[in-house]
Amino acid sequence: GDDADRRGLYTFWKRSAPYATFAIFDAPSRELACTRRPRTDTPLQALATLNDPVFVECATALARRMEAEGGSTPESRVRYGFRLCTGRFPEPAEAAVLVDLADLDRVASVLLNLDETLTRD
């Protein structure tokens, strides 16, 4: 519907039944102020980024952007998407693995699921 592209900030939050994705990604309780969130990397987070409809839609949007703005070759599109997600260009071996995946939707899903994308140092 019209609310499909609204940010998670506007997600209705029930105290008795919190939004599951927020809990998986360690969202703080709303009872107290939170100055720093713990940095975790769990299998549930990986499953969410690969299967949750919100993340699948994000991967599709990234793939369309890579296709539209990343050039005309698979290699240039992979380099562009990798740079968008990680802030650096891929090493030749990394790029080769991603190009072999062929489908841009699949490549975008992998890029969004990288530890380097999900966690900041």
Listed in sequence order, the residues at least 6 apart from 90 whose beta carbon sits closer than 8 Å to its beta carbon are 78, 79, 82, 98
Q: In the prediction, which pLDDT does 69 show?
A: 98
Q: In the prediction, which pLDDT does 6 show?
A: 62
Q: In the prediction, which pLDDT does 42 show?
A: 82
In the predicted model, what is the mean pLDDT of residues 2-19? 65
Task: Please state which of the ranges 40-44, 81-85, 96-100 shows the lowest mean pLDDT.
Answer: 40-44
In the predicted structure, residue 27 carries a pLDDT above the cut 80: no
**CA angle, 86 then 87 then 93, to 5°:** 60
Place of tokens 């991603």: 98
Place of tokens 């539209």: 68
Report the alpha-carbon distance of residue 103 to residue 105 in Å, rounded. Answer: 6
Confidence of residue 83 (pLDDT cuts 50, 70, 90): very high
Sequence length of the chain is 121
Three-class DSSP category at 68: helix
In the predicted structure, residue 110 carries a pLDDT above the cut 80: yes
Listed in sequence order, the residues at least 6 apart from 112 whose beta carbon sits closer than 8 Å to its beta carbon are 49, 55, 58, 59, 62, 85, 118
In the predicted model, what is the mean pLDDT of residues 87-112? 95
In the predicted structure, residue 81 carries a pLDDT above the cut 80: yes
Report the alpha-carbon distance of residue 121 to residue 39 in Å, rounded. Answer: 10
